[in-house]
């Protein structure tokens, strides 16, 4: 008896290409809103899979889905095919004792190379990245997709007092897709500026989301830092959080979450969560909606 599969074999590179094919698929091109069929020609072979949006699972395919491919589908397809007009996902990499950086703000790199690639994949499926000004000052990130195939999304820095100069990587990239949100009372001379009002010397996160919705940015990646993510989380505005836990202990450092303490365990909400090994780390995929 011949048990050889008639399905196509797949590589890691091809698996990621199928994720990008989903990202660039136009949702208004299909009639049945509960499922979508994605097709992509790779190495002269047509790869095809049908994804059930409601159940968040692949229900038909013509290729072998190995563990790596299955993990990609589980991580990214629910984000890509979410039903919200604006979907916010945050990511934090922390130590076992709950710190995202040392007390001197050193954070490169708490997590593994595999998680770093995951961050770049999140960037590639997102329409926009948001980080706070302190993250830019401390890490000077590029916020590009240079480690994976995919287009660089728009990048927005929350810089209420317009203190960041043009020297930082996020503003010097050739795609000229780095922007800032600053206080609406200022009179900037720079380009690539959005302005919002301050309430108690802070931006209202709902105003930020309204701006992103007007810009037609559907998938929003809140990449850092902990303070910025905590503000969106504390106001119940995040839809999903990826929390990467690295097997190291700092003892002291900058905490992952900066939110009001609960008075009792009865007030603590238990989130729906799944786990995935990512190199030496554990990624917690947390649904917040």
Q: How confident is the model at residue 1 (pLDDT cuts 50, 70, 90)?
A: very low
Which residues, 6 or more positions from 110, have their beta carbon under 8 angstroms from its beta carbon? 93, 94, 95, 100, 101, 246, 248
Residue 32 has pLDDT above 60, yes or no: no
Sign of CA dihedral 277, 283, 288, 289: negative
Which is more confident, 6 or 113?
113
Q: Which domains are present in the chain?
A: 12-65 (no CATH), 87-287 (3.40.430.10)
Residue 2 has pLDDT above 60, yes or no: no
The pTM is what?
0.93
Distance CA 121, CA 244 (A): 14
> Taking all residues of the chain, what is their mean pLDDT, rounded to a whole number?
91
Residue 107 has pLDDT above 80, yes or no: no
109-128 residue pLDDT tens: 789 999 999 999 999 999 99
Residue 118 CA: distances (Å) to CA of 7, 13, 115, 145, 276: 27, 14, 5, 10, 12
134-186 residue pLDDT tens: 999 988 999 999 999 999 999 999 999 999 999 999 999 999 999 999 999 99
- b/e map 209-225, b = 16+ CB within 10 Å: bebbeebebbbbbbbbb
**Residue 225 · residue 135 · CB < 8 Å:** yes
Q: What is the pLDDT of residue 263?
A: 63
Q: How confident is the model at residue 28 (pLDDT cuts 50, 70, 90)?
A: low
Q: What is the pLDDT of residue 4?
A: 53
Across 241-260, average pLDDT: 90
Q: How confident is the model at residue 190 (pLDDT cuts 50, 70, 90)?
A: confident
Residue 104 has pLDDT above 90, yes or no: no
User: Residue 19 burial (CB < 10 Å; 0-12/13-18/19+)?
Assistant: buried
91-100 residue pLDDT tens: 999 999 999 9
């Amino acid at each position: 008896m011949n048990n050889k599969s008639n399905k196509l074999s797949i590589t890691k590179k091809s698996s990621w290409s199928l994720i990008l094919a989903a990202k660039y698929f136009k949702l208004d091109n299909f009639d049945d809103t509960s499922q979508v069929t994605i097709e992509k020609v790779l190495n002269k072979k047509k790869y095809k899979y049908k994804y059930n949006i409601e159940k968040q699972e692949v229900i038909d395919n013509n290729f072998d889905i190995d563990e790596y491919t299955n993990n990609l589908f589980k991580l990214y397809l629910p984000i890509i095919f979410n039903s919200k007009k604006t979907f916010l996902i945050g990511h934090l990499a922390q130590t076992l004792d709950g710190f995202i950086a040392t007390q001197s703000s050193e954070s490169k790199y708490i997590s593994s190379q595999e998680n770093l690639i995951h961050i770049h994949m999140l960037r590639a499926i997102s329409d926009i990245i948001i980080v706070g000004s302190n993250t830019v000052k401390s890490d000077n990130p590029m916020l590009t997709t240079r480690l994976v195939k995919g287009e660089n999304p728009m990048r927005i820095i929350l810089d209420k007092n317009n203190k960041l100069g043009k020297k930082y990587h996020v503003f010097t990239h050739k795609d000229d897709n780095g922007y800032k949100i600053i206080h609406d009372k200022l009179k900037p001379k720079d380009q690539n500026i959005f302005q919002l009002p301050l309430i108690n010397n802070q931006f209202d996160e709902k105003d930020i989301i309204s701006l992103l919705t007007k810009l037609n940015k559907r998938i929003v990646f809140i990449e850092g830092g902990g303070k910025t993510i905590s503000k969106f989380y504390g106001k119940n505005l995040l839809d999903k959080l990826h929390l990467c836990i690295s097997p190291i202990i700092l003892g002291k450092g900058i905490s992952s979450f900066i939110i009001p303490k609960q008075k009792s365990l009865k007030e603590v909400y238990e989130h729906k969560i799944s786990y995935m090994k990512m190199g030496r780390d554990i990624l917690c995929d947390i649904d917040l909606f």
